[in-house]
């Protein structure tokens, strides 16, 4: 073992076979179950996030299809009202919390260090921890559903219906504790992204050279850090009311039910942006590659990403227009909700201008990215409508809102994600997805989606309330619902084609090589799939498009990709300054570790104990949590945390 010096001049070298072998030895994760439980490699964690999120997407999709069978015709008796309540609530919980953000976290986890020229995230073990907690919380919440105690009050779970008096089962306890549980994962992940972007960028990658996807996930992470505590607190107070007789929400004892709505939506609306901004970022980075030109308006798009979120903190009350608040509050929040269309429009026009002035290559990925613009505009316009108080009073709690939110969430999350799979699958696996099957995949999803949800606006305008388990004959909603149900099955078939394509191409897809799309950003400068250490040498960046400098001729300077800091004294990467990305420090990165997994087991025991009132289990889990954290944080010489690692 080498004694760590307190300071060092990092070696500069060209990447060689010998150094690659050395780095591989240092960074690789052992195969088998040991590696599976202990790895901190952001690429493996990213893939796991994506696969797990898709598993939840499939579950949530099946729930939706069952509901669409129930609603396909009037007065169907396939489901009881209670079953229907649990299905639509679990569907919302699954898609919004267990699919939409985690899938984006998966892409960001995999791609961030590769986009930034780093060897891992800033906190590799925390990264593994946030994944494990996500899985554990997902299982926790689905355990309730499996025993017939899933959430049954909609995903936003209004009191007093969620209170014990009206909802005596364990449904709400599973949901409340599960959401607090999941919040740990979200917050830890968000913190990791923020520190990663501010500390581990390659030298020269100043803040104005970041890919837009980084801006998207960074903005979303900053928001999550600030708003996740609101919803965790709301659920905690609900749980206290239900289990310990406090009086936060029960009206008879002076509680304030509207406080629930405030706390929920202070979180909920920024969350909506958190689950679309990273996806918009993926479009901003992917679409231009297929237009063979850089994105039009990098700076306005980056700024509008941040502006959307800043405004997004001030619009939560538009979910509460019908609760009888003062006119002044309604006017303010209505105004903010309408103004937010401006930064969104900036992005839309930037994408349109990029297509217009580029030479589009129509691939499946391009189709998904470009169609997202259409769906975003439709969802944006219906959102603009409901941002207006009088229109909202007419439309609130109707299917119009359901149509709107599906255009927004499927349009700006799932379509970009599908595009991103076509775009980055070659990087993940080294193989291309099948383009012909891809066309079938895209058109089935696009047509199916619009058949399902475009008529739904009309269903809402004609007065069908959301969240009813069935409806009487002769209301004029029959054929609309039937069309929606048919469309939803077509849409689901489209997603099935995507899954088939992934499974099939992973085995026998065409080999991709490092840069099959001739793209411009750093992840395409390394082999596909990338080696465990990502970069044999840390690249040095002089432009926004390191791989397009020759074509673009923006200046004479060229990024250095093959020669750079070697950093092979154990696991190391470079830390740079936050804005200019000047070299600042050599970071010692942790080895693979079981601590994140064990800590997750301890935290899970704590939550199960709280749920079942098994206080001994909660105590054991609590003590194990403290112990696991202490072991994790025990200062290590190899990480340069103790004095015998050299000091001065």
Partner 1 sequence: MVEVALGRPRVPVGSIRRRGVGWWGVMMLITTEASLFVYLLFSFYYFALQTPGEFLPRHPPSLSLSLPNTAILLLSSFAVWWGDVGVRRGRQRQLVVGLAIALLLGIAFVTIQLFEWRQQSFTLRSSEYGSLFFTITGFHMAHVVAGLLILVSLLVWSALGYFAGRRSAPILIGGVYWHFVDAVWLVVFFTFYLTPYLR
Q: Which of residues 12-41 bind partner 1 (CB under 8 A)?
A: 12
Q: Smallest gap, in angstroms, from Cβ of residue 556 to partner 1? A: 5
Q: How many residues does this entry show for the chain?
A: 648
Distance between CA atoms of 385 and 91, rounded to whole angstroms?
A: 25
Judged by CB under 8 A, the residue of 101, 162, 228, 320 near partner 1 is 228
Judged by CB under 8 A, the residue of 187, 413, 441, 450 near partner 1 is 187
Question: Under the criterion CB under 8 A, does residue 453 sit at the interface with partner 1?
Answer: no
Both tokens of residue 434? 């099948």
309 vs 495 by CB, closer to partner 1: 309
55 vs 240 by CB, closer to partner 1: 240
26 vs 348 by CB, closer to partner 1: 26
Q: Smallest gap, in angstroms, from Cβ of residue 99 to partner 1? A: 23
388-421 CB burial, b ≥16 within 10 A, e <16: bbebbeebbebbbbbbbbbbbbbbbbbbbbbbbb
Distance between CA atoms of 70 and 60, rounded to whole angstroms?
A: 16
H or E segment and range at residue 583: strand 583-588
Longest dimension (CA), the chain: 83
Q: Smallest gap, in angstroms, from Cβ of residue 233 to partner 1? A: 5
Q: Smallest gap, in angstroms, from Cβ of residue 414 to partner 1? A: 28
Distance between CA atoms of 526 and 523, rounded to whole angstroms?
A: 6
462 vs 632 by CB, closer to partner 1: 632
Torsion angle of C-alpha atoms 127, 593, 588, 537, degrees rounded to 10: -80
Distance between CA atoms of 616 and 619, rounded to whole angstroms?
A: 5
583 vs 617 by CB, closer to partner 1: 583
Question: Under the criterion CB under 8 A, does residue 437 sit at the interface with partner 1?
Answer: no
My answer on whether omega of the bond before 288 falls inside 30° of 0, hence cis, is no
Judged by CB under 8 A, the residue of 158, 198, 313, 443 near partner 1 is 198
Judged by CB under 8 A, the residue of 80, 165, 208, 563 near partner 1 is 563
Q: Smallest gap, in angstroms, from Cβ of residue 234 to partner 1? A: 8
Judged by CB under 8 A, the residue of 37, 240, 310, 458 near partner 1 is 240
Distance between CA atoms of 131 and 139, rounded to whole angstroms?
A: 13
Q: Smallest gap, in angstroms, from Cβ of residue 91 to partner 1? A: 27
- Residue at token pair 């791989």: 547
519 vs 538 by CB, closer to partner 1: 538
Cβ contact 509:433 at 8 Å: yes
Q: Smallest gap, in angstroms, from Cβ of residue 587 to partner 1? A: 7
DSSP state of 594: S
Distance between CA atoms of 379 and 373, rounded to whole angstroms?
A: 10
Distance between CA atoms of 94 and 141, rounded to whole angstroms?
A: 9
Cα atoms found within 13 Å of the Cα of residue 593, Cβ hemisphere only: 23
For residue 41, give Cα distances in angstroms to 274, 428, 589: 24, 13, 11
Question: Under the criterion CB under 8 A, does residue 645 sit at the interface with partner 1?
Answer: yes
Both tokens of residue 585? 């420090």
**Which of these ranges, 42-50, 188-196, 212-220, 316-324, lies near partner 1 under the rule CB under 8 A?**
188-196
Question: Under the criterion CB under 8 A, does residue 613 sit at the interface with partner 1?
Answer: no
Footprint of partner 1 on 257-316 (CB under 8 A): 258-259, 262-263, 266
40 vs 587 by CB, closer to partner 1: 587
CB-based contacts of 245, cutoff 8 Å, min separation 6:
none
Footprint of partner 1 on 517-556 (CB under 8 A): 540, 542, 556
Q: Smallest gap, in angstroms, from Cβ of residue 181 to partner 1? A: 15
147 vs 626 by CB, closer to partner 1: 626
Q: Smallest gap, in angstroms, from Cβ of residue 186 to partner 1? A: 10
Q: Smallest gap, in angstroms, from Cβ of residue 145 to partner 1? A: 28
Question: Under the criterion CB under 8 A, does residue 622 sit at the interface with partner 1?
Answer: no
Judged by CB under 8 A, the residue of 232, 354, 528, 534 near partner 1 is 232
> Residue 605 class from Cβ within 10 Å (0-12 exposed, 13-18 middle, 19+ buried)?
buried
58 vs 583 by CB, closer to partner 1: 583
Judged by CB under 8 A, the residue of 76, 243, 256, 470 near partner 1 is 256
Judged by CB under 8 A, the residue of 40, 587, 599, 608 near partner 1 is 587
Q: Smallest gap, in angstroms, from Cβ of residue 504 to partner 1? A: 41
**Which of these ranges, 80-88, 186-194, 491-499, 522-530, lies near partner 1 under the rule CB under 8 A?**
186-194
Q: Residue 74 in 3-state DSSP? A: coil
DSSP state of 596: H
CB-based contacts of 615, cutoff 8 Å, min separation 6:
609
Cβ contact 267:228 at 8 Å: yes
- Binding residues with partner 1: total (CB under 8 A): 77
Q: Residue 407 in 3-state DSSP? A: helix
Question: Under the criterion CB under 8 A, does residue 207 sit at the interface with partner 1?
Answer: no
Question: Under the criterion CB under 8 A, does residue 564 sit at the interface with partner 1?
Answer: yes
Quickly list H helices, 205-297. 212-244, 257-274, 277-291
Q: Smallest gap, in angstroms, from Cβ of residue 183 to partner 1? A: 9
SS (H, E, C) 456-514: HHHHHHCCCECCCCCCCCCCCCHHHHHHHHHHHHHHHHHHHHHHHHHHHHHHHCCECCC
- Residue at token pair 């609590």: 622
615 vs 634 by CB, closer to partner 1: 634
Q: Smallest gap, in angstroms, from Cβ of residue 377 to partner 1? A: 33
Distance between CA atoms of 445 and 428, rounded to whole angstroms?
A: 23
Cα atoms found within 13 Å of the Cα of residue 72, Cβ hemisphere only: 14
Q: Smallest gap, in angstroms, from Cβ of residue 546 to partner 1? A: 11
Judged by CB under 8 A, the residue of 30, 168, 245, 513 near partner 1 is 245
Question: Under the criterion CB under 8 A, does residue 398 sit at the interface with partner 1?
Answer: no
58 vs 225 by CB, closer to partner 1: 225
Could you tell me the end-to-end alpha-carbon distance of the chain, in angstroms, rounded to an integer?
21
Cβ contact 74:477 at 8 Å: yes
Q: Smallest gap, in angstroms, from Cβ of residue 237 to partner 1? A: 7
Question: Under the criterion CB under 8 A, does residue 225 sit at the interface with partner 1?
Answer: yes
Question: Under the criterion CB under 8 A, does residue 593 sit at the interface with partner 1?
Answer: no
**Which of these ranges, 78-86, 122-130, 163-171, 303-311, lies near partner 1 under the rule CB under 8 A?**
122-130
Q: Smallest gap, in angstroms, from Cβ of residue 96 to partner 1? A: 20
Judged by CB under 8 A, the residue of 54, 112, 239, 565 near partner 1 is 565
């Amino acid at each position: 073992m080498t004694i760590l010096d307190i300071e060092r001049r990092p070696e500069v070298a060209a990447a060689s076979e010998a150094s690659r072998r050395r780095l591989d030895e240092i960074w690789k994760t052992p195969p088998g179950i040991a590696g599976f439980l202990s790895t901190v490699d952001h690429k493996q964690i990213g893939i796991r996030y994506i696969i797990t999120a898709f598993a939840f997407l499939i579950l949530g999709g099946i729930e939706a299809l069952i509901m669409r069978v129930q609603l396909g015709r009037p007065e169907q008796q396939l489901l009881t009202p209670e079953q229907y309540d649990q299905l639509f609530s679990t569907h919302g919980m699954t898609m919004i919390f267990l699919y939409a953000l985690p899938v984006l976290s998966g892409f960001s986890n995999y791609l961030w260090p590769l986009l930034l020229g780093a060897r891992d995230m800033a906190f590799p073990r925390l990264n593994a921890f946030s994944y494990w907690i996500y899985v554990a919380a997902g299982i926790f919440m689905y355990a309730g559903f499996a025993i017939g105690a899933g959430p049954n009050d909609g995903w936003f779970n209004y009191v007093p219906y969620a209170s014990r008096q009206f909802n005596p089962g364990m449904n709400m306890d599973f949901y409340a504790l599960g959401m607090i549980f999941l919040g740990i994962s979200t917050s830890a992940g968000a913190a990791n992204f923020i520190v990663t972007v501010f500390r581990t960028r390659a030298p020269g990658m100043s803040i104005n050279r970041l890919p837009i996807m980084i801006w998207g996930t960074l903005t979303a992470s900053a928001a999550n850090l600030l708003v996740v505590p609101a919803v965790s607190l709301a659920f905690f107070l609900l749980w206290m009311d239900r289990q310990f007789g406090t009086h936060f929400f029960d009206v008879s004892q002076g509680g304030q039910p509207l406080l629930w709505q405030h706390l929920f939506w202070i979180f909920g609306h920024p969350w909506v942006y958190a689950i679309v901004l990273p996806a918009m970022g993926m479009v901003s980075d992917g679409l231009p590659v297929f237009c063979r030109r850089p994105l039009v308006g990098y700076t306005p798009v980056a700024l509008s990403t941040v502006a959307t979120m800043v405004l997004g903190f001030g619009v939560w009350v538009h979910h509460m227009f019908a609760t009888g608040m003062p006119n002044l509050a309604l006017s303010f929040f209505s105004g903010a909700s309408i103004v937010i269309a401006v930064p969104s429009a900036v992005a839309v026009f930037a994408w349109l201008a990029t297509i217009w002035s580029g030479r589009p290559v129509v691939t499946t990925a391009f189709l998904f990215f470009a169609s997202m613009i259409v769906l975003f505009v439709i969802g944006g316009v219906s959102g603009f409508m409901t941002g207006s108080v009088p229109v909202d009073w007419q439309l609130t709690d109707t299917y119009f809102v359901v149509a709107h939110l599906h255009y927004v969430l499927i349009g700006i999350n799932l379509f970009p994600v599908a595009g991103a799979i076509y775009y980055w699958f070659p990087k993940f696996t080294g193989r291309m997805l099948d383009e012909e099957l891809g066309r079938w995949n895209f058109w089935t999803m696009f047509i199916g989606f619009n058949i399902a949800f475009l008529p739904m606006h009309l269903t809402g305008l004609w007065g069908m309330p959301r969240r009813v388990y069935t409806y009487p004959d002769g209301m004029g909603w029959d054929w609309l619902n039937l069309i929606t149900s048919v469309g939803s099955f077509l849409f689901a078939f489209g997603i099935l084609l995507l899954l088939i394509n992934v499974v099939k191409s992973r085995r026998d897809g065409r080999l991709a090589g490092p840069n099959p799309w001739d793209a411009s950003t750093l992840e395409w400068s390394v082999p596909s799939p990338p080696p465990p250490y990502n970069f044999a040498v840390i690249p040095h960046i002089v432009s926004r498009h390191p791989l397009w400098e020759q074509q673009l001729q923006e200046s004479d300077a060229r990024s250095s990709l093959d020669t750079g800091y070697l950093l092979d004294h154990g696991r190391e990467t470079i830390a740079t300054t936050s804005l200019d990305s000047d070299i600042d420090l050599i970071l010692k990165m942790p080895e693979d570790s079981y601590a994140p997994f064990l800590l997750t087991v301890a935290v899970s025991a704590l939550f199960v104990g709280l749920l079942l009132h098994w206080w001994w289990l909660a105590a054991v889990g609590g003590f194990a949590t403290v112990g696991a954290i202490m072991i994790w944080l025990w200062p290590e010489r190899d990480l340069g945390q103790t004095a015998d690692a050299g000091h001065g």
